[in-house]
Amino acid sequence: MTVMEQRGAYRPSPPPAWQPRMDPAPLLPDAEPYRVLGTEAAAKADPDLLRRLYAQLVRGRRYNTQATALTKQGRLAVYPSSTGQEACEVAAALALEERDWLFPSYRDTLAVVARGVDPVEALTLLRGDWHSGYDPHTHRVAPLSTPLATQLPHAVGLAHAARLKGDDVVALALVGDGGTSEGDFHEALNFAAVWQAPVVFLVQNNGFAISVPLDKQTAAPSLAHKAVGYGMPGRLVDGNDAAAVHEVLTDAVRHARAGGGPTLVEAVTYRIEAHTNADDATRYRGDAEVEAWRAHDPVHLVERELTARGLLDEAGIEAARQDAEEMAADLRTRMNRDPELDPMALFDHVYAETTAQLREQRALLRAELEAEQDRHDEQEGGAR
């Protein structure tokens, strides 16, 4: 059966006969964000999964604080922290199978690392020694995308291509609340639904697009409601509840893999830090709001659940903390080394085969570098 047949025909018929193509009710998100932790559903949550989520959340929180510190020390050009959003980051990575693909935005370094990418290579863009550090094919992670929502059609295209080739691969694309205003968000969701592509869109609604709050961004009942207009299900989930996000994403991934098409998931969360180290959040929001969200902390929510069920004790907490400290120490050590820069590499990957013009420019830069080296050597010689 072709995709077109599967979705049913939709052609205008002469008036007065007209029928909606489908009943929109099943596509609608729940009225409240779905929660697991602190509810009755928590008892059914798999202990192993909770432990894995917890370990990754603790590491993720530590990664955020370490990267922020490295920015203050001048080791990173910029770091958009995902502190407060670790549940979304970690759950996104853990909801995927190895053969699946992740399409991150610039705030999703944690998801990239949780997927297995080397923590230093994940920071190449933000350190500024190249635009992307890791091989996308190794862990099936696309480069961090800086232009908002532009990575979403890539995820749709990749998922579509995989399906055409007969591979049961799913793509998970990450975007923020601000990104949902972009045209590429709309086009990606529309293509995904028309093609019934095996793709899942996770919107991390962290409340702000730099300084602009959500109510200036959209008049929709919720971002999840936008799904209905494309003919795909919208799911609303508590983005600080790692177990809930993991469950909703796992369901959506399974649904996509089984040929059910795309899902839009809105995870309601909060950006605890400023947009980046270069931003001043006190200009657009108050401490009280931030404190209220700190009380709903994604790391503590899982910790509390595990502790209450007797699955985690002080020693376990300390072990997780220790593991995160080791990761941070390793990150610190490696990031405190100056990256190796090769100016000649600027010309190496513009085209598969370089052009005559780039060969000339390459020679020009080489000559400049050699002259620089000669001057340096002369000065050294003079000093001696």
Partner 1 sequence: MTTVAVKPATMAQALTRAMRDAMAADPAVHVMGEDVGTLGGVFRVTDGLAKEFGEDRCTDTPLAEAGILGTAVGMAMYGLRPVVEMQFDAFAYPAFEQLISHVSRMRNRTRGRMPLPITVRVPYGGGIGGVEHHSDSSEAYYMATPGLHVVTPATVADAYGLLRQAIASDDPVVFLEPKRLYWSKDSWNADRPTEVEPIGRAVVRRPGRSATLITYGPSLPVCLEAAEAAQAEGWDLEVVDLRSLVPFDDETVCAAVRRTGRAVVVHESTGFGGPGGEIAARITERCFHHLEAPVLRVAGFDIPYPPPMLERHHLPGVDRILDAVARLQWEAEG
Active site residues: 271, 275, 284
Contact stretch for partner 1 (CB under 8 A) within 33-41, 189-197, 216-224, 257-265 = 189-197
- Report in angstroms how near the CB of residue 182 gets to partner 1 at its nearest: 9
Segment 108 to 137, residues that bind partner 1, using CB under 8 A? 130-132, 135-137
- Report in angstroms how near the CB of residue 266 gets to partner 1 at its nearest: 21
Cα–chain center distance at 64: 14
Contact 208, 249 (CB under 8 A): no
Q: Is 164 in the site for partner 1 (CB under 8 A)?
A: yes
Contact 149, 188 (CB under 8 A): yes
> In 199-342, which residue ranges form alpha helices assigned H by DSSP?
226-230, 242-257, 287-294, 298-308, 314-335
Q: Considering only residues 8, 14, 183, 381, which one is a binding residue for partner 1 as defined by CB under 8 A?
A: 183
- Its sign, for the CA torsion 53, 55, 57, 60, is negative
Segment 46 to 65, residues that bind partner 1, using CB under 8 A? none
Q: Is 155 in the site for partner 1 (CB under 8 A)?
A: yes
Q: Considering only residues 36, 96, 113, 159, which one is a binding residue for partner 1 as defined by CB under 8 A?
A: 159
Q: Is 364 in the site for partner 1 (CB under 8 A)?
A: no
**SS3 at position 209:** strand
- Report in angstroms how near the CB of residue 139 gets to partner 1 at its nearest: 12
Q: Nearest 5 degrees, angle CA 380-CA 381-CA 384?
A: 90
Q: Which is nearer to partner 1, 41 or 194 (CB)?
A: 194
Rounded-to-10 torsion of CA 150, 154, 155, 158: 180
**SS3 at position 264:** strand
Q: Nearest 5 degrees, angle CA 52-CA 204-CA 277?
A: 95
Residues for the chain: how many in total? 384
Q: Which is nearer to partner 1, 2 or 19 (CB)?
A: 2
Rounded-to-10 torsion of CA 67, 296, 117, 336: 10
Q: Is 11 in the site for partner 1 (CB under 8 A)?
A: no
Q: Considering only residues 154, 235, 246, 275, which one is a binding residue for partner 1 as defined by CB under 8 A?
A: 154
Q: Is 152 in the site for partner 1 (CB under 8 A)?
A: yes
Q: Is 352 in the site for partner 1 (CB under 8 A)?
A: yes
- Report in angstroms how near the CB of residue 145 gets to partner 1 at its nearest: 8
Q: Considering only residues 25, 219, 345, 383, which one is a binding residue for partner 1 as defined by CB under 8 A?
A: 345
Q: Which of 181, 171, 134 is nearest to 151 (CA)?
A: 171
Element (H, E) at 101: strand 101-103
Q: Which is nearer to partner 1, 187 or 323 (CB)?
A: 187
Q: Is 166 in the site for partner 1 (CB under 8 A)?
A: no
Contacts (Cβ under 8 Å, ≥6 apart) of 84: 206, 240, 269, 270, 271, 272, 273, 293, 294, 297, 298
- Report in angstroms how near the CB of residue 257 gets to partner 1 at its nearest: 16
Q: Considering only residues 22, 161, 210, 258, which one is a binding residue for partner 1 as defined by CB under 8 A?
A: 161
Judged by the rule CB under 8 A, the positions of this chain that interact with partner 1 are: 2, 4, 130-132, 135-137, 142-143, 147, 150, 152-162, 164-165, 171, 183-184, 187-188, 190-191, 194, 345, 348-352, 355-357
